[in-house]
Amino acid sequence: MSKINVLESDIYNLIAAGEVVERPSSVIKELVENSIDAGADNITVEIKEGGIKYIKVSDNGVGIEKDDLKKALMSHATSKISQKDDLLAISTLGFRGEALASIAAVSKVKILSRTVGNELGAQIISYGGEFSEISEQGSPLGTYITVEDLFFNVPARAKFLGKSVTEENHITNYITRLILANPNIALKYIVDDKVIYQFAGKGVESAIYTIYGKEALDNCLFVSEDRQNLNIKGYLGAPNYTKSNRTYQTIIINGRYVNNETVSLAIYNAYKDSLMKRQYPFYVLYLTIPYDKIDVNVHPNKLDVRFWDKGYVYRTVFSAVQQALNKDRFIKEINLKDNSAVQSQQPSIEQIQDTKSQNIDFENKIKQSFDNIRESSNILKDDGGRISNILAKLADMKKDRQKIQQENKEQLSFEQADENLSMFSPQPKPIIFGVLFDTYILIELENNLYIIDQHAAHERLLFDQFMKSIDENTNDVQDLLIPYVFNVNHLEHNKITQTIDEINQLGFDIVEFGNLAFKISSVPFLLSDINLKDFIAEILSDEFYKNISAQSILRDKIASAACKAAIKSGDNIKEDEIISLINQINQSQTQLLCPHGRPIITKISKKEIEKWFKRIV
């Protein structure tokens, strides 16, 4: 009996659709590329519910003839190539003839198109690959394609789609690249009946301004290099204008947006010596290469290309970018009479109507917020109250030394230094020798020498207390004298919108402030001196896009705050303060590592010391 089956068309179309139609953004990419290939110079893209439920792409291109409508929905039907040699020099964005058939196989599609010379348009409807008869309808010139209920007939694929906002992010990312790749084509992008982009097709600089704003243009330089078989043009961000994620990087080859490792690596290495850690350069780079020197038929979604000489392309791009960067030393001039240099980061007081009045000594209070802890000779105690009360108690603890000394007459002792257990137990009293190098506390207990890092121990205690206040939502907040306003692109806007509740629960007050901007009016009191620009950069970093929580980022900030507030190496502390530190560690049952992972305590046994002096072998 034969075991090999010849699949029916409805089955192999579904299989083929899996390669071409990965998600709603894939559908839009294929449809818009068809519009561009049809000569359209005005395109509208509309989506609802992340494109899962509704997609519409309209254009003013040449249209599809009535007799070709049904063929357009068939597999391997295309107007762009007719013989195998055409594959050796592909000049169009699409060429395989798979897209419309694949889309039609997994959704409900309606195509309405009118060509020049026809008074009426022609319409065809496909329901999961089943075609209706062609009918005539009134229609403007061009093509109008509606796609609804993507993967309605393939539930196994539908369940792997992201949430609506996730799919919207993918589409928005593609639309921004599309505008940059086709700066002479007008494009309108509508999401859930709201216009996100309305680009007039006025050139590259206008495209960059539309997507990234004036600040990006002001910090760019033009690069141009014309070599054999390779022309390079575009805009590069100054080395001091970097971003915390790669959404500001675009490579266009022969009008096609691609993700190409060779070009990306060449650009990154040209910038490498001037980039800070986890920072990425801004660029929009256009490469023009003869069609017979490049192969675009290497990726199902045509998102990568293969060069005839990868090494040559790398060297040329690297050289062009490096030379452009070396032309200017990028020392930014700031005119103190012009506030525009800072308006993008901090608004004027007139712009903020709800700014609360503050005392003239606000800045001094901020500086003292953690200094109060340092001025106190004693260690943070957990009284179950709010942080502001804790800090006030710290400032008063100097006055209570006699009481502290009396409390510490009670017996103290260590048990074995286990990182997950308390150091202490109510057994023999330890002997405190003193502090070595004004850093390491030396204690003898039960034939063991314990060495405690005073800074690491205090840092751990402060960190645990700070994190407890965050977890229990008992942390006080500090209103900002001038709210911090920052601008974002659409992808970043969506990311912050998704996580704004989480950020606010950590003690921030962040709200939307106009178009593609947010305002922070208050911060956790413990982080009164936080650098908000750096914090937002981390929130928008590539790592955060991989679903690292805002609390994880804040944890690092709190660890730094605890480090700054703790007793330092070299600080001279007294015996009662040492006893207080030991008590706090004992009571907290803390992990014996500082927040950065360094050990708090090290134990050396009497036996080990006697080996040093060869008393025992």
For 264, 269, 274, 373, 429, the CA distances from 233, given in Å and listed in that order, are 15, 18, 22, 56, 76
Reference 60, options 131, 124, 102, 121; nearest CA is 121
Per-residue pLDDT at 531: 80
Residue 367 has pLDDT above 50, yes or no: no
Give alpha helix (H) positions in 2-75: 9-20, 24-37, 69-72
Reference 133, options 69, 75, 74, 77; nearest CA is 69
Chain segment 168-221, per-residue pLDDT in tens:
989 998 999 999 999 999 999 999 999 999 999 999 999 999 998 888 888 888
**What is the band of 234 on the pLDDT scale with cuts at 50, 70, 90?**
very high
455, 441 contact by CB (below 8 A):
no
Residue 605 vs residue 490, higher pLDDT: 605
Residue 421 has pLDDT above 60, yes or no: no
24, 52 contact by CB (below 8 A):
yes
53, 148 contact by CB (below 8 A):
yes
Report the share of the chain in percent with pLDDT over 90. 27
Per-residue pLDDT at 286: 95
Chain segment 456-507, per-residue pLDDT in tens:
888 888 888 777 776 776 667 888 888 999 888 887 888 788 888 878 877 7
Residue 614 has pLDDT above 70, yes or no: yes
Sign of CA dihedral 491, 478, 569, 409: negative
Residue 514 vs residue 362, higher pLDDT: 514
Per-residue pLDDT at 556: 73
Residue 59 has pLDDT above 90, yes or no: yes
pTM of the model: 0.62
Structure tokens at 262: 């060779």
Per-residue pLDDT at 294: 84
CA distance 66 to 204: 36
Chain segment 423-462, per-residue pLDDT in tens:
444 456 778 888 888 888 888 888 888 888 888 888 888 8
Residue 278 has pLDDT above 50, yes or no: yes
Q: Which helix (H) or strand (E) segment is 521 a member of? A: strand 517-524
Per-residue pLDDT at 184: 94
131, 70 contact by CB (below 8 A):
yes
Residue 509 has pLDDT above 60, yes or no: yes
**What is the band of 14 on the pLDDT scale with cuts at 50, 70, 90?**
low
Chain segment 526-579, per-residue pLDDT in tens:
777 778 887 788 777 755 445 556 666 667 777 777 787 788 888 888 878 888
Read off the pLDDT of each residue in 139-168 and give the average, rounded to a whole number: 90
Read off the pLDDT of each residue in 308-314 and give the average, rounded to a whole number: 91
DSSP E strands: which ranges in 86-165?
Answer: 108-114, 121-127, 130-131, 135-137, 142-148
**What is the band of 374 on the pLDDT scale with cuts at 50, 70, 90?**
very low
Per-residue pLDDT at 335: 42
Give all domains of the chain, ordered by start, each with its CATH number. 9-201 (3.30.565.10), 213-326 (3.30.230.10), 415-617 (3.30.1540.20)
